[in-house]
Amino acid sequence: MSFSFLGLFLAFVIFLAIRYRMNNKKQQETEDSFWAREATANSVPTADLDSLQYITIPLDKFPLGFSKDPEITALETELQELADKRLLNLTGKTNTELKEAYGVANLATMQAIGEDFDRLTVILKEYAEGLIAQNQLTDAIRVLEFGVAIGTDISQNYTLLGDCYQALGQTDKIGYLMTQVENRHLLLGPSIIRHLQSLLSGDTDTEVNAPEDFSV
């Protein structure tokens, strides 16, 4: 009985030792691969950032000055400041990927460009909420559609846009919005889709139309 138990115990210890060695080997391979990729990224030639196609904020389509609310005016000021900056959607890009694409000398610049884009997506959502509060749904749609066009990953941008479409009887555009969400594999994509589907409940119009403003 004791011999059998000792044999099982030794087999378990051997199994753990093998598993530990395998895990260490995989971890070492992962680290080696990372540092090899880093070394390659650090030697990538510096890219010409002036040749990139940056995002342009369509301020002429936004109802700037519609409110005297300090919070709204602050958002508009930020939008105007961001309009003068270089903007790119770099969401999800690691520093290694940025160096591989643009060169190590451009890393800090690209990080700033990505941070400005992230700030823009937040401002667009907040600005649209201010417009909705003033019942300016058509203007809110323009702002939110621009957010979708540049690939925002803020879930409220999509749900608020769906709400505005429904409120204005433009439910035919919700189906198109759903395809945008599905194609982008957003983290909260399933919950966004459920919300948009709920807006279509009882709607017999199955036509799917793309909004005119889905462009950058």
204 occurs within a structural domain: no
145 occurs within a structural domain: yes
Cβ-proximal residues to 100 (8 Å cutoff; 6+ apart), any chain: 37, 40, 41, 44
Round to whole Å and give the CA distance between 57 and 36. 39
The verdict on 17 and 72 lying in the same domain is no
Q: Could you tell me which of 97, 109, 89 has the C-alpha nearest to residue 154?
A: 89
Round to whole Å and give the CA distance between 23 and 129. 49
The verdict on 66 and 17 lying in the same domain is no
Q: What is the count of structural domains for the chain?
A: 2
Round to whole Å and give the CA distance between 143 and 127. 8
- CA dihedral for 30, 34, 35, 40, sign (positive or negative): positive
The verdict on 2 and 55 lying in the same domain is no
The verdict on 87 and 166 lying in the same domain is yes
5 occurs within a structural domain: yes
The verdict on 94 and 12 lying in the same domain is no
Round to whole Å and give the CA distance between 177 and 184. 11
Q: Are 62 and 142 in contact (CB under 8 A)?
A: yes
What's the predicted TM-score (pTM) here? 0.79
Cα 128 to Cα 7, 50, 83: the distances in Å are 69, 31, 17
The verdict on 105 and 35 lying in the same domain is no
The verdict on 140 and 36 lying in the same domain is no
The verdict on 115 and 86 lying in the same domain is yes
148 occurs within a structural domain: yes
pLDDT tens digits, the chain, 216 residues: what are they?
555 766 676 766 676 667 767 777 676 655 666 667 876 878 788 999 999 999 999 999 999 999 999 999 999 999 999 999 999 999 999 999 999 999 999 999 999 999 999 999 999 999 999 999 999 999 999 999 999 999 999 999 999 999 999 999 999 999 999 999 999 889 899 999 999 999 998 553 444 344 555 445
DSSP 109: H
What residue numbers bound the domain in which 36 lies? 1-41
The verdict on 32 and 61 lying in the same domain is no
Q: Are 41 and 21 in contact (CB under 8 A)?
A: no
Residue 47, CB half-sphere, CA atoms under 13 Å: how many?
18
The verdict on 51 and 133 lying in the same domain is yes
- pLDDT, position 187: 87
213 occurs within a structural domain: no
182 occurs within a structural domain: yes
The verdict on 8 and 100 lying in the same domain is no
208 occurs within a structural domain: no
The verdict on 127 and 71 lying in the same domain is yes
Q: Residue 51 burial (CB < 10 Å; 0-12/13-18/19+)? A: exposed
28 occurs within a structural domain: yes
Q: Which CATH number belongs to the domain containing residue 191 in this structure?
A: 1.25.40
